[in-house]
Chain A
Amino acid sequence: MTPCAHRATFPERPDRMSTTPIQDPIGKTRTAASSSSAAITAVDLRKSFDDNVVLDGLELTVEEGSVFAMLGPNGSGKTTTVNILATLLNADAGEVRVAGHDVAREADAVRDAIGLTGQFSAVDDLLSGRENLRLMADLHHFAASDAEGRIAELLDRFELADAADRTVSTYSGGMRRRLDLAMTLIGDPEIIFLDEPTAGLDPRSRFTMWEIVRGLVSDGTTVFLTTQYLEEADQLADRVAILDGGRLVAQGAPAELKARVPGGHIGLTFADRGAYDAAAAVLDAPARDEDSLALQLPTDGNVATVRQVLRELDEAGVEVGSLSIHTPDLDDVFLALTGRPATSEPEPEEVSR
């Protein structure tokens, strides 16, 4: 890990976990709190294409009912991982269990439990939305009477009822993606794989997809998603894993990962010049803005650091106008852990077939 710049100023560095609540007020605490069994485990997973090593001893565990996001730069092996977990591809080595079954030896049992929405839309362009869903219902061997109700419900839920009888080739990107997901959901899978579910979508469609994914999780479905959008992982995931060089270089709750890199700061503003000068004299703040009477102190955002700053100001009798805490975003994490900025291009060389 990169040494943190603020260590000299604030040597106290308490246990990271104790700070989680203040960093993450939204309350994504399910993973940490629950000790339920694993929906997906991979041990020492390896895969090469010719001489190109794609997965090099990947290890991962995804808890039941959680959202697990895998982030990685182009060609890092995200789609390859999904394809192995979803029984599309054989690993060269390693032990992979999905829904309690070995993906190599009990593929049919795994297939019974999973649904995949791949990076390239898995809808039939020449069929209508309704026909696509009926195709899936038939392949799940539904009784005809059950199927119609389920199809109508999904068309409604995914806002496709009006377009249900048009061929999919006339659908917009967002509509295709929603249909794709509806087709995945019709069989009520325990575990859903979403390979870059919002790649290429406009912001509104992306937001709709996020809402849908959140809805899934509240139903208890386990979601394994890959994404290039750091914000997406931050918004949706209980745990984020960063894939680089064929292994996970870091994983944890989004807040935990963010806490591991420098880039956060405490922002202080003061009501008048006197308070500002007094504070500047007490605190070793590298960023000063005399015009707006503001100071910035680097921090990882933990409570003890904030408390110490306030205590020092208190002892000096300085009145603080306002205090804000900026924690680093996953962009900072990505850069710090992989040495590269995150990119937002798709991965054209990894094609789901």
Chain B
Amino acid sequence: MTAYAVRDSATMLRRNLLHLRRYPGLSLFPLLMPVVFLLLFVYVFGGTLGNGLEAGGGRDAYVDFVTPGMLLFAVAGAAQIVAISVAMDMTQGIVARFKTMRIWRPSVLAGHVLGNLVLTAVSLAVVIAAALAIGYGPSAGPLEWLAVVGLLLLVAVALTWLSVALGLVAKSVETASNMPMFLFLLPFLGSGFVPTDSMPGGLRWFADNQPFTPITDTLRSLLAGQHIGSAGIWAFAWCLVITAGSFLWAAHLYNRRPAR
């Protein structure tokens, strides 16, 4: 039933947007959390951390440094929500009903992904507005901004599909809410909040080679109007690999029929 792929996905998107609106307990968290962390990092840690940057510069310099990391933190936070909503959905009889209908089968999951992308976009807009309000000064031109939006979209798609798969593999909603926790931690264990060369040996190696670091570096360069170098290719490749792997995993989990 691929003929109805677009229509069925749009129907499911509408359902998921209604869920986000009617269940603010879940959807407000990714909207508020990144702003709270932004303020925390800039005003509590920022004075000291900014002085530790290569060029120094205190709090003002740290706002510019941390904002790209905070954008990824927001994407990861929103992605985490989808694991919970997918896991909750799978415990409901209505998904069994969807599976007995002749619809485009992946539309249930597509609705979750698309709905979460809308949530992510709102969350990112809030973070950027907050950052600008406290003195963030990006020097990116229109083309760079377009690239920033494109890259954030790719990252959001990748992390959302990963989180959908985690929500499907979880045996309970509680497990589903814990599993994507590492997505929260990864931006910290990379170049998002401090330069990786300030970390001890083993941790630094991990930080330099995990996906969030090239993605953070690419965003930071784009927003600062600088050359992105090889980090851009790595960022792009990581997004594709995570998206493809997670999509296949999620589709497999959803389609297995002995769902009991």
Chain A positions 96-149 with a Cβ under 8 Å from a chain B Cβ: 108, 111-112, 114-116, 118-127, 131, 135, 138-141
Is there a chain A Cβ closer than 8 Å to B95's Cβ? yes
Contact at A138–B23, with CB atoms within 8 Å?
A: no
Chain B: CB-nearest residue to A108: B102
A291: min CB distance to chain B, Å: 55
Contact at A353–B100, with CB atoms within 8 Å?
A: no
Contact at A122–B92, with CB atoms within 8 Å?
A: yes
Total contacts A-B at CB 8 Å: 85
Contact at A122–B259, with CB atoms within 8 Å?
A: no
Contact at B11–A139, with CB atoms within 8 Å?
A: yes
Contact at A89–B1, with CB atoms within 8 Å?
A: no
Contact at B102–A112, with CB atoms within 8 Å?
A: yes
Is there a chain A Cβ closer than 8 Å to B206's Cβ? no
Contact at B258–A122, with CB atoms within 8 Å?
A: no
Contact at A111–B101, with CB atoms within 8 Å?
A: yes
Tally of contact residues, B, Cβ under 8 A: 29
- For the side of the interface on A, what is the size category? 35 or more
Contact at A352–B15, with CB atoms within 8 Å?
A: no
Contact at A88–B90, with CB atoms within 8 Å?
A: no
Chain A: CB-nearest residue to B8: A139
Contact at A131–B18, with CB atoms within 8 Å?
A: yes
Is there a chain A Cβ closer than 8 Å to B19's Cβ? yes
B111: min CB distance to chain A, Å: 10
Chain B: CB-nearest residue to A183: B97
Question: Hey, which chain B residues are within 8 Å of A83, CB to CB?
Answer: 96
Contact at B97–A122, with CB atoms within 8 Å?
A: yes
Find the residue from B11, B19, B98, B260 having the highest chain A CB count within 10 A: B260
Find the residue from B14, B15, B23, B101 having the highest chain A CB count within 10 A: B101
Additional 15 contacts, C-beta under 8 A, given A88-B100, A121-B93 = A49-B258, A90-B257, A111-B100, A111-B101, A111-B102, A116-B97, A116-B100, A118-B96, A119-B93, A122-B97, A124-B92, A127-B18, A131-B18, A135-B15, A139-B8
Residues of B within 8 A of A (CB): 1, 4, 7-8, 11, 14-15, 18-19, 22-23, 90-103, 257-260
Which 7 pairs, one residue from A and one from B, show the smallest C-beta to C-beta distance? A122-B93, A122-B97, A120-B93, A111-B102, A138-B11, A353-B259, A126-B22
